[in-house]
Structures are given as C-alpha cells and as structure tokens.
C-alpha cells in the first residue's frame, strides 16, 4: 500500500489559517489524495480530494506539490469546530485497494 506520513499533532489559534502537511513519497500516478477528519465519537467526514491540481471547496483547500510527493490541507480560518483528527490517505483509481488511514494529525484550536 502507498503510505502517508503526517505530524501527530498541531495547534492553531482560532480564526487563523491552518496548514496541515502530508507526505506521500511513494504515490503512484493513479492515486488520488483524500483528506478526512474525525471528531470524537463520530465517523470520519470527507473533506476534500484531488489528483494533480489544487482544489477548493467550501470546507478547505488542497495544495498538491508539483511532484505529488506531498500535499497540504488548508483551513482558511480555523474555528473551534475544526478541532479534530485529520487523515490524509491515498486512493487508487484503477480498482479497490486497501486504504491505510494511519494515525492522522490531531488539530487543537486555541480560542
């Protein structure tokens, strides 16, 4: 499985931008980069995904490095509700392959 590496934890002040990094040096050309977040006692929630180009949606932006070996999830203005564990995973487009979630980044938002 192609793996991802994320910092265990990060802190951000409320209403400031947050940049959550993810390394995926063994990514293949057909792997999509997905981000999910999980609040306590809830299932993971889809945030955003992309293949090569940067992506924006109402929740966040995804910046993908030119060599695709790393990506950054950008929360433009952190709120207390953004405090969660954020997972960066790779999903193969050609068919189902086991997805490895890893332990993610625990984001703490400071009021």
Enumerate binding residues for other proteins (CB under 8 A).
30-32, 34, 36, 41-46, 49, 51, 85, 87, 91-96, 98-104
Smallest distance from other proteins to CB 36, Å = 8
Complex with other proteins: residue 17 or 101, whichever CB lies closer: 101
Smallest distance from other proteins to CB 25, Å = 18
Assess contact for 102 and 6: CB atoms under 8 A. Answer: yes
Complex with other proteins: residue 8 or 66, whichever CB lies closer: 8
How far, in Å, CA of 47 to CA of 27, rounded?
20
Q: Among 24, 27, 19, which Cα is nearest to 60's?
A: 19
Smallest distance from other proteins to CB 103, Å = 6
Q: Among 46, 98, 100, which Cα is nearest to 73's?
A: 46
Complex with other proteins: residue 3 or 13, whichever CB lies closer: 3
How far, in Å, CA of 73 to CA of 107, rounded?
12
């Amino acid at each position: 499985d192609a793996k991802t590496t994320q910092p265990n934890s990060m802190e951000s002040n409320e209403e400031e931008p947050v940049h959550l990094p993810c390394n995926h040096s063994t990514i293949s050309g057909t792997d999509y980069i997905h981000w999910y977040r999980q609040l306590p006692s809830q299932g993971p929630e889809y945030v955003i995904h992309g293949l090569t180009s940067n992506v924006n949606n109402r929740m966040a932006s995804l910046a993908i490095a030119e060599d695709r070996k790393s990506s950054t999830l950008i929360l433009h203005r952190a709120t207390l509700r953004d405090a969660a564990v954020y997972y960066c995973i790779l999903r193969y487009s050609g068919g189902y392959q086991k997805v490895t979630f890893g332990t993610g980044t625990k984001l703490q938002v400071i009021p």
